[in-house]
């Protein structure tokens, strides 16, 4: 066994990524405080060829060196837009045919391992603030919630870790 060099990895160019078929998932980041978390979510969205990211509320926007530090160029390969009010973004996306899902701990949530992306389905995944989660106002716009089962004392994950886990579970089912 030997570690692969960077030039041996099957990497797409920026143009190839822009043209590639995307996972029909849009990530909505609601009031994320940390630029490093935002950058990390961009990097994860690039890795899984996610359709786009919507940055809402006071979520920081590129370009910024702290976002770039963790995104490693993914702000150039993942489509993104800023929308001040999360509910405005969700209203637009719902009329465009997306199913709206928050990643949140609520009564009646779907455990992540039981959620399956249906063929032809387009979804929005909302990730909320690092401390308060997805706001009550935004939860009212959701068609449902996905919950990552947790068994320790904390019952919370870093938002970028949660995004990676949920996206991997969706991609794993189709690869």
Mean pLDDT along residues 41-50: 97
Determine the Cα–Cα distance for residues 96 and 135; give it in Å rounded to an integer: 22
Residue 18's pLDDT band, with cuts at 50, 70 and 90, is confident
Tally of structural domains, the chain: 1
Residue 136 falls inside a structural domain: yes
> Could you tell me if residue 14 is inside a domain?
no
Asked if residue 62 has pLDDT above 80, the reply is yes
Is pLDDT at 175 greater than 90 in this prediction?
A: no
Residue/partner pairs of 96-99 with CB below 8 Å, 24 or more apart? 96/122, 97/122, 98/26, 98/122, 98/123, 98/124, 99/123, 99/124, 99/143, 99/144
In a domain, 122, yes or no: yes
Instruction: Report the C-alpha gap between 154 and 163 in whole angstroms.
Output: 18
pLDDT in tens, 103-124: 999 999 999 999 999 889 999 9
Residue 65: predicted pLDDT: 96
What does pLDDT average to over the chain? Answer: 96
Name the residue range of residue 84's domain: 19-145+154-172
Residue 116 lies in a domain: yes
pLDDT of residue 73: 93
Banded pLDDT at 80 (limits 50, 70, 90) = very high
Is residue 134, in this structure, part of any structural domain at all?
A: yes
Q: What's the whole-number mean pLDDT along residues 126-141?
A: 97
Residue 79 lies in a domain: yes
Contact status, residue 133 vs residue 103, Cβ threshold 8 Å: no
What's the pLDDT at 174? 77
For 138-172, the pLDDT digits (tens) are 999 999 999 999 999 988 999 999 999 999 999 99
Residue 112 falls inside a structural domain? yes
Say which residue the tokens 């969205």 belong to: 45
Give the CATH number of the domain where residue 134 resides.
Answer: 3.40.1280.10
In a domain, 3, yes or no: no
């Amino acid at each position: 066994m030997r570690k692969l060099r960077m030039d041996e990895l099957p990497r797409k160019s920026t143009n190839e990524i822009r043209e590639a078929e995307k996972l029909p998932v849009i990530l909505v980041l609601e009031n994320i405080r940390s630029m490093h978390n935002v950058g990390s979510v961009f990097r994860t969205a690039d890795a899984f060829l996610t359709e786009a990211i919507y940055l809402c509320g006071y979520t920081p926007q590129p370009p910024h060196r702290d976002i770039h530090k963790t995104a490693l160029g993914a702000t150039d390969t993942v489509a993104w837009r800023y929308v001040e009010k999360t509910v405005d973004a969700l209203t637009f996306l719902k009329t465009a045919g997306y199913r709206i899902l928050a990643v949140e701990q609520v009564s009646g949530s779907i455990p992540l391992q039981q959620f399956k992306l249906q063929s032809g389905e387009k979804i929005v995944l909302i990730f909320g603030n690092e401390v308060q989660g997805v706001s009550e106002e935004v939860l009212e716009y959701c068609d449902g919630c996905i919950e990552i089962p947790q068994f320790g004392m904390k019952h919370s994950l870093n938002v970028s870790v949660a995004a990676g886990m949920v996206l991997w579970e969706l991609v794993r089912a189709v690869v």
